[in-house]
Amino acid sequence: MPATSSCPRRRTAKVTTLENITIYHEIDFLLPAQRFNINFSYVTQKGLPFVREFVLRLIHLAPMSMSQVATFFGFSRKEVQEAIDDLVERGELTLSENGRLTLTDKSSGYFTELGEVPRLSLLRDSTARLSFDLATFSCLGKDNSSEKWKAGLSIKVDDENASCSEAQVGKHFQRQFHEILQKEFLSRSLTQDEKDSPTVYTVNSVNKIKQMPVRLPVQFKVDADGRSVEREDFEKLKNSDYVHERISLELDRLGRPSNFGEIAKAMLDIGDGETLKLFDSKGSSVSLQFFEDLARLEANSQKKRTTFLGPIYSSANWELLQKHLAPIIKARRENKADVGQTPFLWLAPSDPYWGKSSNLQVRVSEILSMASTKEKRLYSPAIYLPVSGPDDQKTARQWKWEFDPNSDKVYGLIEGFLGGNVEVMHFEGEFVAVVYHVSLPDSYPVSLPIGFISADKDVVSSVGRLVTTYLEGSSGFERPNDCGLLSRFGRSE
């Protein structure tokens, strides 16, 4: 099995495992693909009308006279004459020297074995609009994808694959024709007859329509000992090896040195000794046994804390967060008090794998849309994204592209909060979620997000002070950490 994964979702704080395997990160990879208009000719084996078929099958068994045919089918003289005349005119029957009816070379070609059903070969033209990836040239289907190059890591393929894609698709369409047919990617007219089995005669033309990405979600996993597990193959692709090689190259490019020392310092600043205990003595890997032990302790304690593994925006971890957020929203909707000014802040880390999933924007939209009802505002959400400074136009443009259509609701924050490795979601006076993005390159190919959600008032307050101090601080003369709305970057006041 090549180096990706698929595992059941965790629905509680306790880690659920399948064969002692646990997901620790979920990242989408974007593989280049193109959509094509393909014109082709195909040969179809068509069945014959009842009388025509059975007269030919009878004479295929043995030449016979017209009267023998009439006797076999119970035809009148007129009926048998009409049937035979039709077959003679079609060039499918002829009269031998001894006066018996026999098949012609043409009709003999309808059969491959004695007694089988005759099939008539017809040459027809058709058109298909199909998408193929540019790595393995697997047919991805007929649907017109609207996928964009965002919320994922782009996989680079050989330039020649893109420049010669039309020729490659012509070859692969022919090779994959029966599979494409079985998946019902082609016109139904090709397979109206259940007995029919069309084959490609020739591909007449292939024209590229557009280029787009195909999204490949990947779940990174660890085993019971905290060791990284190989990645699984992609069901969409005929062969995943080349794509896995390309993914590994991209991960190598994004690789960072170990940041465990900085993570440990951040944990001390936060006052979090519990998460630190989940790592081995060398700080080289996480222990799932320690994780499960901590989960059991938390389930039976009054600390209002839940430790989790993986991105906060993953399905399982978002459920944990909703257990805190949903009751707050319900109470605020029913309460007449003015609570709209309560800050709900989300600070993103400086981690190359953060947000590289379609899940993130779904969660962002939820946070923003739930902030108000028709009658009132329930809280004031603000999302802070790392930039190098107020003049970092390139990063700002990228964030705005990633967060569209919510780009007018996100802010720039000079990177460096708790070393840039910590993500915080802080709902003032209610709860806090802290996620450490741990880089351990000798053990894991991508960063390992691990953290906790707490409703303990002291923890919420202390983390809130750290956040506020950084937001109100500066990184130099006239360089406040809070750079303001990203939508205003580049605008002169």
**Nearest 5 degrees, angle CA 441-CA 396-CA 438?**
20
Tell me how far the alpha carbon of residue 405 is from its chain's centroid: 21
Give me the pLDDT at residue 226, please. 87
The Cα 164–Cα 441 span in angstroms is 37
Give me the pLDDT at residue 280, please. 86
**Nearest 5 degrees, angle CA 227-CA 233-CA 237?**
160
Domains of the chain by residue range: 21-42+122-254, 48-115, 260-488
Evaluate whether 151 touches 28 at the Cβ level (below 8 Å): yes
User: Could you say which DSSP state residue 284 is in?
Assistant: S
Would you state the structure tokens that stand for residue 231, as one six-digit string?
A: 């990645």
Helices 358-369, 393-403: crossing angle, 10 deg rounding: 80
Residue 15 confidence class, pLDDT cut points 50, 70, 90: very low
Evaluate whether 362 touches 369 at the Cβ level (below 8 Å): no
The Cα 111–Cα 487 span in angstroms is 72
Which is higher by pLDDT, 117 or 125?
A: 125
The Cα 12–Cα 320 span in angstroms is 7
This prediction has a pTM of 0.82
Over residues 367-385, the pLDDT tens digits come to 999 999 988 999 999 999 9
Mean pLDDT across the chain: 89
| Mean pLDDT (whole number) for 412-440 | 97
Over residues 39-58, the pLDDT tens digits come to 999 888 776 778 888 888 89
Give me the pLDDT at residue 144, please. 83
In this structure, what are the phi and psi dihedrals at residue 440, rounded to the nearest 5 degrees?
Answer: -130, 75
Give me the pLDDT at residue 196, please. 64
Give me the pLDDT at residue 119, please. 74
Architecture of domain 260-488: 2-Layer Sandwich (3.30)
Evaluate whether 40 touches 125 at the Cβ level (below 8 Å): yes
Task: Return the residue matching tokens 């910590």.
Answer: 422
Task: Return the residue matching tokens 């068994």.
Answer: 61
Over residues 296-305, the pLDDT tens digits come to 888 888 788 9
Task: Return the residue matching tokens 């899940």.
Answer: 359
Give me the pLDDT at residue 491, please. 66
Give me the pLDDT at residue 19, please. 59
Over residues 213-268, the pLDDT tens digits come to 999 999 999 988 888 999 999 999 999 999 999 999 999 999 999 999 999 999 99
| Mean pLDDT (whole number) for 128-151 | 93
Evaluate whether 60 touches 115 at the Cβ level (below 8 Å): yes
Residue 3 confidence class, pLDDT cut points 50, 70, 90: very low
**Domain 48-115 indexed as CATH 1.10.10.10:** yes
The Cα 30–Cα 12 span in angstroms is 30
SS3 of 204-266: the string is: EEEEEEEEEEEEEEEEEEEECCCCECCCCCCCCCCCCHHHHHHHHHHHHHHCCCCCHHHHHHH
Give me the pLDDT at residue 111, please. 84
Which among 17-21, 40-44, 128-132, 282-286 has the top mean pLDDT? 128-132
